Amino acid sequence: MRRSDFSYDLPEELIAQYPLPERTASRLLCMARDSGVLADRRFPDLAGLLQAGDLLVFNDTRVLPARLLGRKASGGRVELLVERVLDAHTALAQVRANRPLREGATIKLADDVSARVLDREGMFYRLRFSSPQPVPELLQRIGRVPLPPYIERADEELDRQRYQTVFARRSGAVAAPTAGLHFDEPLLGRLRERGVSFAWVTLHVGAGTFQPVREEIVERHRMHREYLEVPAATCAAVQAARARGGRVVAVGTTVVRSLESAARHGALRPFAGETDLFITPGYAFRVVDALITNFHMPESTLLMLVSAFAGRERVLAAYRHAVERRYRFFSYGDAMFIY
């Protein structure tokens, strides 16, 4: 497969720069997985599209305010994006500066905080922070919301709430599991009343999710690693849904990656650790029956995953339909339901 096989034309004005006033106000493009038949709906219609006995699986990761602004000793500006907290005072981070930083270099972040470069691991720098506060607490105090690169504005106060799902509880992500952003408590309540069950995984989305596929031959791409947990209770919930004839509905590509990673060697089993699973067309899905997902960037690994689930040509036809109908794209955009 070639990277260009997953390209499509997207007018810039369709990239959502802000969330809608209400979480559930988004549109929902429904697509039959086997035929590609499309229907234009609203996100609250999901309560009528899911059936009693279905299982919704959510990612409960919580986004850290992981973007930090600072200056080098020379005065040059530096931007840090914390990828992963390693221990109380150390983290891996992407660094944007006018030139690469050397080992031992110090970045001034705030009046009382600096970060020292310990070493470099590929595209990431290992940094040690001077603050007595643990890194997660430090980020809450001085960090900013790490909006994706295609949102061309500075983060605002509203992003602290809206670039976070209502069920986020386990801090560690630097990007939101965006399919979950469409749910609010009233909708979750209606789904429960309908007899839809819920289960949870945790996948801490890393900055690598926005890294472009640089290899033209897709199979040569090296997938970024992300930490995930699939608990025993979720495995049991999947088995129970299967037994009663319900569908396993993944809320987002991160949930697909979590469940399929936990079933990578056969049956679904509890799992905690890193995954480098790269799902492309030809992959045999073991767990997921239906998918709720946002629209994804051209030539991205996420678009490749969705194409593996529903067929590349059908998915690209759906994207062309979405462009023609002026759907809103990417993190703060509209959603698809592939069933």
Whole-model pTM over 0.85: yes
To 10 degrees, what angle do helices 253-262 and 301-310 make?
Answer: 70
To 10 degrees, what angle do helices 301-310 and 312-324 make?
Answer: 110
In this model, does residue 273 exceed pLDDT 90? Answer: yes
Residues whose CB is less than 8 angstroms from the CB of residue 189 and which lie 6 or more positions away in sequence, other chains included: none
Is 100 in the same domain as 58?
no
What confidence category does residue 190 fall into, taking pLDDT thresholds of 50, 70 and 90? very high
Residue 152 lies in a domain: no
Q: What is the mean pLDDT of residues 194-202?
A: 98
Is 251 in the same domain as 131?
no
Q: What residues make up the domain containing 84?
A: 67-144
Is 289 in the same domain as 195?
yes
In this model, does residue 33 exceed pLDDT 90? Answer: yes
Is 93 in the same domain as 173?
no
Q: What local confidence, expressed as pLDDT, does residue 222 receive?
A: 87
Is 124 in the same domain as 270?
no
Residue 232 lies in a domain: yes
What are the tokens at 113?
């905080």
Residue 236 lies in a domain: yes
Residue 117 lies in a domain: yes
CATH label of the domain that carries residue 293? 3.40.1780.10
Burial of 169 (0-12, 13-18, 19+ CB in 10 A): exposed
Is 34 in the same domain as 170?
yes
Q: What is the mean pLDDT of residues 164-190?
A: 96
Q: How far is CA 253 from the centre of its chain?
A: 7
What are the tokens at 321?
């339909």
Residue 168 lies in a domain: yes
In this model, does residue 208 exceed pLDDT 90? Answer: no
- In the chain, the number of structural domains is 2
For residue 76, the 8-state DSSP code is -
Pairing of strands 113-121, 106-110: antiparallel
Q: How far is CA 22 from the centre of its chain?
A: 20
Is 166 in the same domain as 211?
yes
Q: What is the mean pLDDT of residues 55-70?
A: 96
Is 239 in the same domain as 330?
yes
CATH label of the domain that carries residue 98? 2.40.10.240
Chain segment 75-126, per-residue pLDDT in tens: 999 999 998 889 999 999 999 998 889 999 999 998 889 999 999 988 899 9
**3-class DSSP assignment, residue 327:** coil
Last residue of a domain, one of 111, 144, 177: 144
Could you identify the residue written with the tokens 């999947």?
A: 238
Residue 153 lies in a domain: no
Is 36 in the same domain as 73?
no
Is 181 in the same domain as 254?
yes
Residues 129, 108: Cα–Cα separation, whole Å: 10
Q: What local confidence, expressed as pLDDT, does residue 211 receive?
A: 78
Q: What is the mean pLDDT of residues 31-35?
A: 96
Is 134 in the same domain as 20?
no
Pairing of strands 226-230, 248-251: unpaired
Last residue of a domain, one of 144, 170, 195: 144
Q: What local confidence, expressed as pLDDT, does residue 17 receive?
A: 98
Residues 10, 325: Cα–Cα separation, whole Å: 12
E strand spans, the chain: 27-31, 38-42, 55-59, 61-63, 67-72, 77-87, 90-96, 106-110, 113-121, 124-129, 170-173, 197-204, 226-230, 248-251, 271-275, 290-294, 335-338
What are the tokens at 116?
């020292």
Mean pLDDT value across the chain: 95
In this model, does residue 210 exceed pLDDT 80? Answer: no
Contact yes or no for 72/101 (Cβ under 8 A): yes
Is 41 in the same domain as 164?
yes
Residues whose CB is less than 8 angstroms from the CB of residue 12 and which lie 6 or more positions away in sequence, other chains included: none
Helices (H), 205-325: 232-243, 253-262, 301-310, 312-324
Last residue of a domain, one of 77, 111, 144: 144
Percent of residues in the chain assigned helix, strand, coil, to nearest 5: 30, 30, 40
Residue 209 lies in a domain: yes
Residue 230 lies in a domain: yes
Chain segment 1-30, per-residue pLDDT in tens: 999 999 999 999 999 999 999 999 999 999
What confidence category does residue 206 fall into, taking pLDDT thresholds of 50, 70 and 90? confident
Q: Residue 161: in which H helix or E strand, if any? A: helix 157-162
Amino acid at 315: V
Q: What local confidence, expressed as pLDDT, does residue 303 receive?
A: 97
